[in-house]
Amino acid sequence: MRRREFITLLGTAVAWPVAGRAQQPSVPVIGFLHYASPESFAHIASAFRDGLREASYVEGQNVLIEYRWAYGQYDQLPTLAADLVHRRVSAIAAGGNVAAQVAKAATATIPVVFTGGADPVTLGLVPSLNRPGGNITGVTVIAAELAAKRLELLRGLVPYARTAAVLINPHYLGAELELTAVEAAARTLGLQVQKVAASTDRDLDAAFVTIAAPRVDVLIVGTDGYFIHRREQITALAAHHAIPTMYFLRDFTAVGGLMSYASSVEDSYRQMGIYIGKILKGARPADLPVLRPTKFELVINLKTAKALGLAVPDKLLAIANEVIE
């Protein structure tokens, strides 16, 4: 077979049957397990491929990727993970803490690299950040640990606030840990906290009716993959009910959210791609420490602030990494 023809066939290998792949031992297959959808998370999938490229792996050339998206339905993840294990992929990239837990439960031998917002040690994913052991390691964006800082920044924009609602998904593994952090920060700031739960689109509509009650002044959206998946709905509801809201990712402020304070999710997925590349070259997950972010960004949407009748203090503008006008 001519080299050009071989490359063409390899580029279309995503459609090969499993038996055909078994005849290509030199081309590893990676499983990409994610709670969201390719439409809403195309940018992070691209960042993951960028990381693979940094490790000298290019999709369709010397590596194949089997994408498994749960479209926001966490209960679909076990079936998707089992399928990847059945296909004997070389490694699994698990997006989010729930996907990581599912992947860990599905296999003790296939290497797993995760990203997630909650503490992976507290969740039982790894015994230690520096020495993860076993077949799993990854990148933690410590989104939950930033909850107190988010509340402090939001209070700086809305100094009259007395009650803060916290929107959580009860199915998210780190929800209660994050809520505890917010409550501790609220006591320091003299704020009352009201927990509001949502895990479906219908729940979100009902939750915002509760949040829009006169006694709630501001809202903190808790860390959760489902909320990212529904970010446009959430920011629209916050705007409709005129609730000053702090988010845990720039993705929300980019579509009209008021404020966000977070590390870069794109960078975490790029790092996940790099780790997968190292594993394909022979590294063991047990020897790769769980990575933590070192940079955090405050993003403020001035257009949304104006619509809410909020004047952003100069001191907030001075420390903002990005101002969306």
Confidence class for position 171, pLDDT limits 50, 70, 90: confident
Query: For 28-81, how does the pLDDT look when each residue is reduced to its tens digit (9 = 90+)?
Result: 999 999 988 898 888 899 999 999 999 999 999 999 999 999 988 889 999 999
The H-assigned helical ranges of the chain are 3-11, 18-22, 42-54, 77-86, 97-106, 147-157, 175-189, 201-211, 225-229, 231-240, 250-254, 265-280, 302-307, 314-319
d(CA 14, CA 32) in angstroms, rounded, equals 13
Conformational region of residue 190, where left means phi above 0, alpha means psi within -120 to 50, and beta covers everything else? left
Confidence class for position 177, pLDDT limits 50, 70, 90: confident
Chosen CATH of 144-262+296-324 out of 3.40.30.10, 3.90.1150.10, 3.40.50.720, 3.40.50.2300: 3.40.50.2300
Confidence class for position 295, pLDDT limits 50, 70, 90: confident
Q: Which residue has the tokens 């390691």?
A: 137
Nearest residue to 249 (alpha-carbon basis) of 237, 233, 265, 271: 265
Report the amino acid identity of residue 248.
Answer: F
User: Can you say how many angstroms the Cα of residue 247 is from the centroid of all Cα atoms in its chain?
Assistant: 12
What mean pLDDT value characterizes the chain? 89
d(CA 115, CA 269) in angstroms, rounded, equals 7
Chosen CATH of 3-142+264-287 out of 1.10.260.40, 3.40.50.2300, 3.30.750.24, 1.20.1250.20: 3.40.50.2300
Residue ranges of the domains in the chain? 3-142+264-287, 144-262+296-324
Are 3-142+264-287 and 144-262+296-324 equal in CATH topology? Answer: yes
Report the amino acid identity of residue 63.
Answer: V
Query: For 198-236, how does the pLDDT look when each residue is reduced to its tens digit (9 = 90+)?
Result: 988 889 999 999 998 888 999 999 988 788 888 999 999
